[in-house]
Structure 1
Amino acid sequence: MKIVEIREKTIPISSPIRNAYIDFSKMTLSLVAVITDVMRDGKPVVGYGFNSNGRYGQGSLMRERFIPRILAADPATLVNEEGSNLDPHKIWDCMFSNEKPGGHGERSVAIGTMDMAIWDAVAKIENKPLFRLLAERYGNGSVNKNIFVYAAGGYYHPGQNLDALKDEMRSYIDRGYTVVKKKIGGASLDEDLRRIDAVMSVLQDGQRLCVDANGRFDMDTSIAYAKALSQYDLFWYEEPGDPLDFELQSVLRSYYDKPMATGEDLFSMQDARNLIRYGGMRPDRDWLQFDCALSYGLVEYLRTLAMLRQHGWSPARCIPHGGHQMSLNIAAGLGLGGNESYPDLFQPFGGFPDGVEVIDGHVTMPELVGIGFEGKANLYSEMRALSS
């Protein structure tokens, strides 16, 4: 058993939208296919992966360092003890060989993307949905197929007025979401409050709003927003300051006693641990958004979950960034609190398998082998083109 080929392609997911920090006019991602020598129905088993939006494609790092390391390794060193499947942990160690600690920037995205494809292949070789494999190996054996999801939108669109913003949010509610998210920090505080009021006007009982500053604010601005946002019953106030400014996050709890969220731009267990140690996050109300596709993959995410348990945090306080099916599988198999969703943006990479509906803010995981990419026709057509 071995990996015979790894292919990578950079794909544009450009859009005219922007958040408080970046626009997406030149955004790309990497799509990866890990081709094995295991045959099913006359075809090789192929695992697929891609990185989340907001970080660009990492093809050069994959081609120069990580793919050659895997293909140069003795295949016997990359499989489990029985020789019956690939071992994601051994493959991860192979990718990370000759890498110094620290500096968890672009390489964490490259490894995380490839790690996703490897886990997809592993679950397919076992002929199981990934969430069931995770529950058996690392959970308590049981799965929760009913996963909370929220609709991420509310970006700053060129020429979008308040009526158009309200129409966007209504469209998410009409599709079954009960929690929606909009961006803040890309306009003045007064304008952002008008945008919040517009969204709140279309929400009914039991429906909530998150706001996300994408790390834009300094201390004074984050506090000013915290005071202004306290008048609302928000689901959370997300990433007010730089993701590595743990002091800002810790100080902010004195000005905002409602739920906050951060972590999507922390790309290692060590950085996640520093947030827990020094960021003042509160396990009774705050949310953690670590995204495995950006942070070295599921192998590292398992380390992060173990660290959280050691510090008294439940996996149920994790709602990952990224809106991809990999995190949905982790949520179902390992008891996370839910997952982000992009109903309209970054297609075909966001969203759910065809036929999966959002009902009362939740989706039910289908019994698809692997991560389940084959159940989303427009996404699988991109993947199949890469591996054919």
Structure 2
Amino acid sequence: MKINRITEKDLPISSPGSNAVVNFKGLTTSVVMIESDIVRNGKALVGYGFGSIGRWGVGGLLRERFIPRLMAAPADTLLDDAGLIDPFRCWEVAMANEKPGGHGERAVALGALDMALWDLLAKAEDVPLWRLLANRFRNGVADERVEVYAAGGYYEESHSLQVLKDEMQRYCDLGYTSAKIKIGGAVLSEDMKRIEAAISVLGSPSALAVDANGRFDLKTALSYAEAIEPLKLRWYEEAGDPLDYRLQATLAEHTSTPLAGGENIFSSQDAKNLLRYAGMRPDRDILQFDCGLSYGLPDYLKTLSLMAEHGWSWRSVHPHGGHQMSLNLAAGLGLGGNESYPGVFQPLGGFADHIVIENGSVRLHDTPGIGFELKPKLWDWLRSL
């Protein structure tokens, strides 16, 4: 097996509304296409990947460093013992001459490249990615269904409570039983009205999570924690800056509400520090590490190993991103569930069009690879590459 060419291009995934920190108008992500010399049904076998959702495109890093390193490497140095592409060996080649630290946009670029490699390998083995992962890392055991929740509740111009309630009802109609909304983009009293409006549709506070997207200082984080404590929400996500471990630890000391975080932790080293110093509680808290934002699966597996060393179950992980890669990881590696973006960040948000959400969970696809081909609008765009 040989890589013939690698192409990258920005994919526009702008979405209406904003969270407490950013507006998503004009947002992009980097898509990677890896074409191999294997021919199936008269066409070259191709793997696709992207840098998850919520960060900007990183084409410069891919074009100038990572893609040239892979294309310059002797073909056999990128293969496993069976002669197929080896994402781990490719990762080592791509990261040659990179200094430790600096886990930002570089981690996103590697995440996109690595995702395409795993999609390609699963297609070469003619299995869905979740099955490949279960066979390699879980003795063949895969979850038949994955719990999913609908992420939305962004701030729109009118700040209408009825608009928010209508959105929550759409998620319920689709089969979701839990959802997440944004907080921190309004004053506490207004956010509490938004929370109460969402609960009125979902039917239970335990079905609702809230996300501040790192907006708060410690004083504000604690005031929100005090206000929502009696409600017993599903979780309170990313109250402060993702690297402010002391804020997170102090917050954990002052609330019994489950806390969530980790989507903006871009390496196993930063994950280690989060587990060491952020005071997060394995018995209730949620970790949201996103493979597509954190160097891809080789480093993600290191993070999962660190969790076990610190007393965490992999079931505590509900990956950020709301996309098919994370869904495959959840089923194949036995994670706790997965985020979903059924109404935003198109064409990437949500899962394969034929997947039905039943009582808050989904059954995985049986198509080789990650399953991008099962989203017609996304597939049309990918084929244009």
Question: What TM-score results when the alignment is normalised by the length of structure 2?
Answer: 0.98
The answer for unaligned runs of 5 or more in structure 2 is: none
Check the 8 A contact 2:205/2:231 in 1, yes or no.
Answer: no
The answer for unaligned runs of 5 or more in structure 1 is: none
Provide the residue aligned with 1:69 in structure 2: 69
Provide the residue aligned with 1:326 in structure 2: 325
Provide the residue aligned with 2:345 in structure 1: 346
Q: Residue type of the partner of 1:151?
A: A
Q: Residue type of the partner of 1:28?
A: T
Provide the residue aligned with 1:364 in structure 2: 363
Provide the residue aligned with 2:154 in structure 1: 155
Superimposed CA distance per residue, residues 263-306 of structure 1 (whole angstroms, 9 cap, x where no aligned partner): 00000000011000111111110000000000001111111111
Q: Residue type of the partner of 1:287?
A: I
Q: Residue type of the partner of 1:200?
A: I
Could you say if the C-alpha distance between residues 207 and 357 of structure 1 is closer, same or farther in structure 2, counting changes exceeding 3 Å?
Answer: farther
Provide the residue aligned with 1:34 in structure 2: 34
- 1:26: how far off? 2.3
SS at 2:367 equivalent:
coil
- The structure 1 segments of at least 4 consecutive aligned residues displaced by more than 3 Å after TM superposition are none
- 1:16: how far off? 3.4
Superimposed CA distance per residue, residues 186-216 of structure 1 (whole angstroms, 9 cap, x where no aligned partner): 1101111111111111122596100000000
Q: Residue type of the partner of 2:133?
A: L
Matches of 1:245 and 1:276, distance apart in 2: 12
1:157-306 to 2 correspondences below 5 Å = 157-205=156-204, 208-306=207-305
Check the 8 A contact 1:166/1:199 in 2, yes or no.
Answer: yes
Matched, 1:91 2:111: no
Provide the residue aligned with 2:113 in structure 1: 114
Matched, 1:336 2:341: no
Q: Residue type of the partner of 1:17?
A: G
Matches of 1:245 and 1:344, distance apart in 2: 31
SS at 1:202 equivalent:
helix
Percent identity of equivalent pairs? 56
Q: Residue type of the partner of 1:319?
A: H
Q: Residue type of the partner of 2:51?
A: N
SS at 2:384 equivalent:
helix
Check the 8 A contact 1:36/1:46 in 2, yes or no.
Answer: yes
Matches of 1:40 and 1:207, distance apart in 2: 48
Matches of 2:163 and 2:299, distance apart in 1: 40
Q: Residue type of the partner of 1:188?
A: V
Provide the residue aligned with 1:44 in structure 2: 44
Q: Residue type of the partner of 1:39?
A: V
Q: Residue type of the partner of 2:198?
A: V
Matches of 1:341 and 1:76, distance apart in 2: 38
Provide the residue aligned with 2:53 in structure 1: 53
Check the 8 A contact 1:16/1:158 in 2, yes or no.
Answer: no
Matches of 1:160 and 1:226, distance apart in 2: 22
Check the 8 A contact 2:150/2:171 in 1, yes or no.
Answer: yes
Matches of 1:151 and 1:15, distance apart in 2: 15
Check the 8 A contact 1:27/1:53 in 2, yes or no.
Answer: no
SS at 1:38 equivalent:
strand
- 1:145: how far off? 2.3
Provide the residue aligned with 1:6 in structure 2: 6
Matches of 2:92 and 2:319, distance apart in 1: 24
Matches of 1:223 and 1:207, distance apart in 2: 20
Matches of 2:384 and 2:16, distance apart in 1: 27
Check the 8 A contact 1:15/1:27 in 2, yes or no.
Answer: yes
Matches of 1:163 and 1:339, distance apart in 2: 27
Superimposed CA distance per residue, residues 33-87 of structure 1 (whole angstroms, 9 cap, x where no aligned partner): 010111111111100011222100111110010000000011110000232x100
Check the 8 A contact 1:214/1:238 in 2, yes or no.
Answer: yes
Provide the residue aligned with 2:141 in structure 1: 142
- 1:255: how far off? 1.4
Check the 8 A contact 2:53/2:345 in 1, yes or no.
Answer: yes
- 1:32: how far off? 1.0
Matches of 2:207 and 2:115, distance apart in 1: 31
Q: Residue type of the partner of 1:70?
A: L
Check the 8 A contact 1:178/1:207 in 2, yes or no.
Answer: no
